[in-house]
């Protein structure tokens, strides 16, 4: 059985993925936040902005699913440390530890400034919608470099929104169910011919903005479609926003921070990325945007 490292394992995506992959792989989990490993899992607390930590967690694994980092738009310091330095450390530590395959959770926000009217595929030019989006583009560029220069096998998943059900109108177009996430990740781990691939991490949503033919070519057959939730979701939809509603990235295109779904715990937390976005500036920005 392969040993797979999941970084950022205590976040939302990591939590769904652990449940879905249980029993299929030996899971090595890492996060800067604490985590209680389940049976068959091993946990190593690590701050990936520290190269020694990145070296320690990547040693001896068959593949890495790199989810760790600052997961929304927010202050530059947090993004710099987790998504630029941290991401570099994970790629570089993987290379030094001779881990061939890396799956990177990039984001729809790497291309969030495409209009909602446009269907985009894996070949479009980048159009990040904020600092967070730029950091994801950085990770994509690293992936390209490490594939071309060092022969690593790199699978970039531009993830939409992972949730048991879509939470609003925008997410009807980018929803990624946990079981579809597990299917795509399994392809990224198992496919024999990965060199450098970009795919969209989304379900088979009727309202999708993506031509995900590259994922399909690699065998992805998503099981879920957000449409069954559409009526309920749209009935609850709040007021729109003149800019956010034009672009695929939504609020990320016009706010400076969004509330961080995975802040560091108050006590015992190391100095790190997630802390800053949990504070009031993020909430204020979102409140202001809602008022507009």
| Binding interface with ligand 15L (CB under 6 A) | 71-72, 107-109, 161, 171, 261
Residue 46 or 202: the one with the smaller Cβ distance to ligand 15L is: 202
CA distance 179 to 120: 23
Residue 9 or 72: the one with the smaller Cβ distance to ligand 15L is: 72
CA 284 to chain CA centroid, nearest Å: 24
Residue 168 or 211: the one with the smaller Cβ distance to ligand 15L is: 168
Active site residue 88: no
Least CB distance to ligand 15L at residue 241 (A): 14
Least CB distance to ligand 15L at residue 251 (A): 9
Least CB distance to ligand 15L at residue 33 (A): 15
Least CB distance to ligand 15L at residue 109 (A): 5
Of 132, 146, 200, 210, the active-site residue reads: 132
CA distance 230 to 172: 7
Least CB distance to ligand 15L at residue 211 (A): 18
Give the tokens for residue 88: 């570099």
Active-site residue set: 132
């Amino acid at each position: 059985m392969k040993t797979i490292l999941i970084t950022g394992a205590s976040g939302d995506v990591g939590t769904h993925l652990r449940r879905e992959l249980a029993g299929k792989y030996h899971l090595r989990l890492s996060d800067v936040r604490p985590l209680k490993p389940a049976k068959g899992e091993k946990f190593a607390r690590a701050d990936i902005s520290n190269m020694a930590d990145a070296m320690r967690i990547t040693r001896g694994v068959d593949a890495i699913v790199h989810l760790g980092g600052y997961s929304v738009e927010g202050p530059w310091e947090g993004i710099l440390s987790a998504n630029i330095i941290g991401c570099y450390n994970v790629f570089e530590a993987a290379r030094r530890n001779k881990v061939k395959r890396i799956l990177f959770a990039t984001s729809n926000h790497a291309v969030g400034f495409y209009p909602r009217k446009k269907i985009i595929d894996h070949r479009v030019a980048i159009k990040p919608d904020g600092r967070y989006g730029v950091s994801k583009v950085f990770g994509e560029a690293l992936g390209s470099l490490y594939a071309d220069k060092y022969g690593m096998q790199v699978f970039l998943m531009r993830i939409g929104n992972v949730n048991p059900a879509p939470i609003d109108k925008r997410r009807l177009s980018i929803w990624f169910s946990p079981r579809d996430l597990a299917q795509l990740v399994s392809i990224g781990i198992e496919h024999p011919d990965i060199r450098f691939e970009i795919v969209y991490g989304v379900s088979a949503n009727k309202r999708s903005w993506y031509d995900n033919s590259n994922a399909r070519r690699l065998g992805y057959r998503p099981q879920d479609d957000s449409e069954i939730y559409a009526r309920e979701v749209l009935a609850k939809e709040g007021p729109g926003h003149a800019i956010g509603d034009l672009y695929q990235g939504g609020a990320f295109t016009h706010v400076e921070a969004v509330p961080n779904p995975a802040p560091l715990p108050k006590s015992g937390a190391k100095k790190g990325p997630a802390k800053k976005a949990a504070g009031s500036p993020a909430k204020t920005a979102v409140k202001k945007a809602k008022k507009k």
